[in-house]
Amino acid sequence: MGIPAPVQKENIMSDRSRQIDTLNTLIDEVWNTRRLEVIEDVFMADAILHIAGGKHVGHDEIRERYIKPFLTGFPDLKIEVLDLFGEDDRYAMRMRGTGTHDGDYFGTPATGKHLDYSGIVVLRMQGDKVAEVWGHSNAALKIAEF
């Protein structure tokens, strides 16, 4: 066994650039433009999403049990990234979401009320795709006030 070759700074920067592009696609394309078909480009097939209500595994669960219900309940939802930083394969994102409750949200009929919430998301990347997400926001508390 020899001494491993030093990591090239250019490789680290290109990997980081691709990962940030993926995270921008997640926010801009999946959430803000509602292009749910892009989920496969953003998440690993066996990606895990950990949220207060439990966990979702894989493209279909993440799309059908988390993202789609949110976008149905809040069809004008917009996510704004306030901070994004990372090291190695982990990123932390501070975000804000705003939208109008104009659709059914997990059995709660539309109220027309405005949602303004904030959250923190930690993401683990595998290559240029999201492998795991830990998310926490005050969205549920805000929605409960409706």
pLDDT digits (tens, 9 = 90+) for 6-30: 445 555 558 889 999 999 999 999 9
Give the per-residue pLDDT at 13: 57
In the chain, pLDDT over 90 holds for what percent of residues?
82
Give the per-residue pLDDT at 10: 52
Question: Which domains, from first to last, does the chain contain?
Answer: 9-144 (3.10.450.50)
Give the per-residue pLDDT at 7: 47
pTM score, whole prediction: 0.87
pLDDT digits (tens, 9 = 90+) for 115-139: 999 999 999 999 999 999 999 999 9
Task: Return the beta strands (E) in the chain as ranges.
Answer: 43-51, 54-57, 78-87, 90-100, 114-126, 129-137
Alpha helices for 6-146 (secondary structure H)? 9-25, 39-42, 58-62, 68-73, 139-144
